[in-house]
Structure 1
């Protein structure tokens, strides 16, 4: 007998606002992309113009047979300055949510998908003890306005991604003798670029703490406290909404003799965060 997926199984697509909407001008990544000597190969610009074409895009998802869409609401659009909320942006996302429902697509909202308002970075970014409360306040605003349309919410996308990024950077920096010249040139370019980034945000280079940058242990705690504080306020406002988080995870397997290393990697990348996730719905 052929196995069947349940009728209520969710088949979907996922996007990050910055990567598809275009013109996310109040975010840290927009600033970094548009600097002279930027390390980004291309600017995001109009991206795929999803901010304007979302109705057509969502209709195409339905035509493809999808019944779920995970997309992010962009913090930098909702709160371009601290405490200043952009009502037209809230109305835009209300319309996106309505378009999902009109096409029988279940919306799954992500409240932070790697881009952050510039003012948050200038205030310490993802190493600041104030960021969890600021993030929770923004999440509360979104849910008060839109919760009737949101059955599922992910607070933060790939909350542990900085651990993986740090490992990739370490591998790149120790790339062997054939790469020494390349790495030296890259390091010089990066140093110059970070000075430009520092000027753009008005903080010293070592205090530019975007979400995808390397993290201290304190910074990892900030990210996961942002999740728990957001979860608390969302539950108060919209108890019917199911709340979770997404993690960057790999299928970690060991060859004989590597069991200890595999166990360490699993603990480092996931299990150490279990206490923050135990009260999630998914």
Structure 2
């Protein structure tokens, strides 16, 4: 059996990671202070988006998810750049005319530098939500003739965790010990959901037949050990990171579909050290990098033994099908895979990755999951929040040779899948 008729095939990118040439994002100063490799010109997609369109056409894609850069559209609190809005509208129109369905994401981690000058506590205050709603309104009105599918926030829990608990993204708060209090009682989640609800309202008021969703990062969770303690810890982490925000948005009837970003699995253990958030040790690769293998064992965490990507993420294809089926059953909404991919500098692993993950997704559909599409992350090699080392692209980008786009080893395989509507 193949994938359903009308299945959406394509790829995703995010504005800050591929566009380049933008000095207004809060990440610009953040990169200097953190001594990250600067984003700089990225893949120069702001100027070369027609080359990106050519890549999509070469693949035979019928869908492209991209984001609109808030700091480019609104470089100062009182200024909207009409030429930037016109460029995004032109892009959406060109994709649509080429038979490629544009999906716009309004928030993909990057925010204007002025946001934190006005509101130093960021989204812990109500002001950023109000400002974001104004920005979203301008984008919706600019692109409404050509875009019917919208994503309000990409991986909101990952973004909030990095920005307000781990100090990894601006504004850089370290509140991991008070995670639940900061996120729930402190208003972070509610402010984001209020902005999402307004996006949903504005889109439906302006665009007939539109759909609005949230792209949620969901990992395949397993208990570190079989037993009540780790199973309970897994449930707490699953609720907090995966379901809490979706449950609230769904109960308010402001989700038309769920975007699923899936990359890996983690083992979850009960924390025996009091300061761990929610009493949980989630064995993410990033935690292992901080505490090391020995530290992970001392904490009671468990690390899987599968092959890993260049991000040190375990490759677990069957997890994609499990997660998609679980979300579909819980929410009874269409599931669109908005990100799935691997960092692969060697260029040798993408075909096998695609085959195994798409086979898992096909099995989930056969078992009743309502999955409407698959968008690979990423169309292009991009800036991966501090480094250009990870290579996620279906197309390599030679930043030393005019930003030339060339197919990676998995691109032809993906093209074959799209053409046949089935996994060879």
Q: TM-score band (shorter)? A: 0.7 to 0.9
Number of equivalent positions: 242
CA distance in 1, matches of 2:157, 2:106: 16
Choose the corresponding residue for 2:219, options 250, 256, 270.
250
- Partner SS state of residue 92, structure 1: helix
1:236 aligns with 2:236: no
Matched-pair contact (CA < 8 Å) for 1:127–1:209 = no
Q: Structure 2 vs 1, CA of residues 142 and 213 (structure 1 numbering), >3 Å: closer, same or farther?
A: farther
Large movers: runs of 4+ above 6 Å? 210-215
Report the 3-state secondary structure (helix = DSSP H, G, I; strand = E; otherwise coil) of the residue aligned with 1:236: helix
More contact order relative to length (CA 8 Å, sep ≥ 6): 1
Q: State the distance in 2 between where 1:68 and 1:211 align.
A: 36
Normalized per residue, which structure has more strand?
A: 2
- Is 1:118 the counterpart of 2:80? The answer is no
- Which residue of structure 1 lines up, in the alignment, with residue 64 of structure 2? 69
Query: Is the Cα–Cα contact under 8 Å of residues 163 and 171 in structure 2 kept in the other structure?
Result: no
- Structure 1 equivalent of residue 12 of structure 2: 14
Larger helix proportion, structure 1 or 2?
A: 1
1:157 counterpart = 2:154:
yes
Matches within 5 A, 1:33-48: 33=31, 35=32, 38-48=33-43
**Cα-to-partner distance string for 1:173-202 (whole Å, 9 max, x where unaligned):** xxxxxxxxxxxxxxxxx9xxx9xx9xxxxx
* Matched residue, 1:89: 84
Q: Which SS does the other structure have where 1:11 is aligned?
A: strand
Cα offset, 1:166, TM superposition: 8.3
Displacement of 1:233 after TM fit? 2.2
**Gap runs ≥5 in structure 1:** 170-189, 198-207
Aligned counterpart, 1:109: 104
1:275 and 2:248 matched: yes
**Could you say which residue in structure 1 is the equivalent of 2:196?**
227
Structure 2 CA distance for aligned equivalents of residues 64 and 275 of structure 1:
37
CA separation in 1, counterparts of 2:160 and 2:24? 26
User: What TM-score, normalized by structure 2, do the two folds share?
Assistant: 0.53
Decide whether the 8 Å contact of 1:140 with 1:237 is kept in 2.
no
Aligned to 1:262: 234
Q: Give per-residue Cα distances to partners, 1:19-78, cap 9 Å, x unaligned.
A: 100012111012222x3xx32431111101101110111111111122111100111111
Distance 1:119 1:262, change over 3 A: same
What is the distance in 2 between the residues matched to 1:167 and 1:116?
A: 14
C-alpha deviation, 1:239, in angstroms: 4.0
Encode CA deviations 1:106-135: one digit per residue, 9 max, x unaligned: 111000110111121212222221222211
For structure 2, list consecutive stretches of 5 or more residues without a partner in the other structure.
Answer: 258-424
